[in-house]
Chain A
Amino acid sequence: MALRIKQSIINATEFRSDGLGVLASIAWAAETVGRYRGTVRRGDAAVASFELEVDKGGAASQLDIDLNDLAGASLGGARAARRFQVASAEGQPAYVQFFVSDGPGGYQVVIEGAKANFDSRSLGPRDVFTTVLVRPGLYTMEHKPSGAKGEIAVERLEQSEKGYEPKAHQVRVTARGFDPPRLAIRGADGVVFAVEGGGAVRVRLAKPEPDEKQPPRRRLYPEALRIKGRAAGETSSKPVGKRPAKPR
């Protein structure tokens, strides 16, 4: 069976607009026509670059750029900068949306042009940060630099709920904090942050809901795993495994 589950999705517990990973995206509202040059960074290192052309009056007003794909192509030796095009509809900005399909993430994006700039480390008033929260539990949301905090409770989506349509929940982020400061959503729902005061948003799983009991693992070769019952006279100078220290 050719099947690989993206562990990055299963393990994702933190979502940052200033360090983009899986299940999170940032949309830049490109309101000015022109040519731009973009750089994708992870930490201090530039991992990919691209060219972007924003036109006026076209059909495609949304452009999705997979940063994992872009960084992977650069690692693979692609030297030429990738070129992207997007067009703004009448009275609407063009949206350039950055997301990460897989991998560890932690990307920042900087776009520079003659008339406009974008830096994912500090979002602008029309930029949008979106997360998809799939794992049930209690999440904290935090805005930097204001330090405002809020909570998101994610309810487990049951297997019997067939055909559930995930919803998008809007959260305004202003100088006074999150609005609403608390929200309850269901697994696979999205949370859309409109960051009106600039800055960055971080969402973190603070208290995961305990998972259902997993079936016991089948021991295929019990004799190979046996520790007790060692043959008489056989000694071992090294401990097997590491015993956790007892709390005092």
Chain B
Amino acid sequence: MADLQLAISEAVVRKLFVTARDNFAFSHSDSVDLGPFTVSYSAGVKLKNGDIDFQSNNTVLLKELDIVYDPLSVTFGLDIPRVCVGGFCIIPTPFGCALRAPRVCFFEDDPDVAATINLSGIITTEISGTCGMTLRFVPEAGAGTPDPWTALANGVSNEWRLHLVPGWLDIDLIDVADTVGNLIDQLIDALVDDVLSPLPGWARGIVKAILHGVTSIIRTILDIGDDIGEWLSNLFNVSLDLFSFVVDEVAKYFADKFALFAFPDPYPMLPAETSVLGPPLVPVLINIVQPAITVTDTELVLETSLGA
């Protein structure tokens, strides 16, 4: 039988969760070569909204925790097809073309172009899942001090830390803002104008006409179908693996980095006291032995034995 039993209400743990959520932030950048084009991105990730819900089976439900990608800038680089004139038939015959004009190209090589678009706040994903609660003992916290009283006085006692440990997490794409369609058009314009800007107006007209519709070509290269939201989701989810990366980071954050709360071991049952009659009294420290956590529908219960 435990010597000590401590209950924390679900409401209090919710507030602790909000603190943990608001302290989460990381940035990440990566690039990937997807054959016809390259993509590099730089993302800042934060958490918003979401809630936890205690379950009767010793688990905690993590509900609709929003991932905010802000800032999020994505740079696309691609080779657009060569822009050449000529190639038409000079001497047609009943059996085909006997002589064809040589092709002469406007550019030395395939034009490689790059343009960056700002997708900050455009994508909304959310995480849901099931978590357990665990207490972790951190023994090294008091290392280097002569005794537990000094460690406590210096704020470096050994600690028990309560972590929310995700069992499984799902990430869902909730929304891609409608404005993304305009952004993709802007991207394509930027890519094309980047290539053609040195040309005089008449030459730009020829090049764009020869390219058989630059927009459709770039859309083909980038493999953008009718649903831009789906394309963007696949890009980040499958090609760039950003969503999985975020899920891992969130899981590691709650499981390893940010404790919902912590308490020292040995625990100061009675605080230090000053005495006018004699020397000051040191705090009374009690060892925490085999603490255990239980989650019920309404509260979190901590039970432990106390040692000398």
Q: Which residues of A are in contact with B by a Cβ distance under 8 Å? A: 1-6, 9-10, 22-23, 25, 27, 61-62, 64, 66, 92, 95, 97, 99, 101-102, 128, 130, 132, 134-136, 156-159, 161-164, 166-168, 187-188, 190, 192, 209, 211-212, 214
Q: Chain A interface secondary structure, helix, strand, loop or mixed?
A: loop
- CA–CA, A23 to B200, complex, Å? 17
* Chain A min CB distance to B155 (Å): 55
- One of B86, B91, B202, B208 near A211 (C-beta < 8 A): B202
Query: Would you call B209 and A164 a contact (CB within 8 A)?
Result: yes
- One of A6, A61, A134, A212 near B107 (C-beta < 8 A): A6
Q: What B residues does A135 contact at CB under 8 A?
A: 202-203
Tell me if B114 is interfacial: C-beta within 8 Å of chain A.
yes
Across chains A and B, the number of contacting residue pairs, with CB separation under 8 Å, is 133
Query: Would you call A132 and B201 a contact (CB within 8 A)?
Result: no
Q: Chain B interface secondary structure, helix, strand, loop or mixed?
A: mixed
Interface centre among A5, A6, A25 (most CB of B within 10 A): A5
The number of chain B residues with a CB under 8 A from chain A is: 41
User: Which residue of B has the minimal Cβ distance to A167?
Assistant: B88
Tell me if B11 is interfacial: C-beta within 8 Å of chain A.
no
Tell me if B263 is interfacial: C-beta within 8 Å of chain A.
no
- CA–CA, A168 to B99, complex, Å? 12
- CA–CA, A27 to B212, complex, Å? 29
- One of B100, B104, B198, B212 near A22 (C-beta < 8 A): B104
User: A4-B108, A101-B102, A134-B206 known; 16 other A-B pairs, CB under 8 Å?
Assistant: A1-B114, A1-B194, A25-B102, A92-B98, A101-B104, A130-B90, A135-B203, A157-B206, A162-B212, A162-B213, A168-B101, A187-B202, A187-B206, A188-B206, A188-B209, A211-B202
* Chain B min CB distance to A64 (Å): 5
Tell me if B117 is interfacial: C-beta within 8 Å of chain A.
no
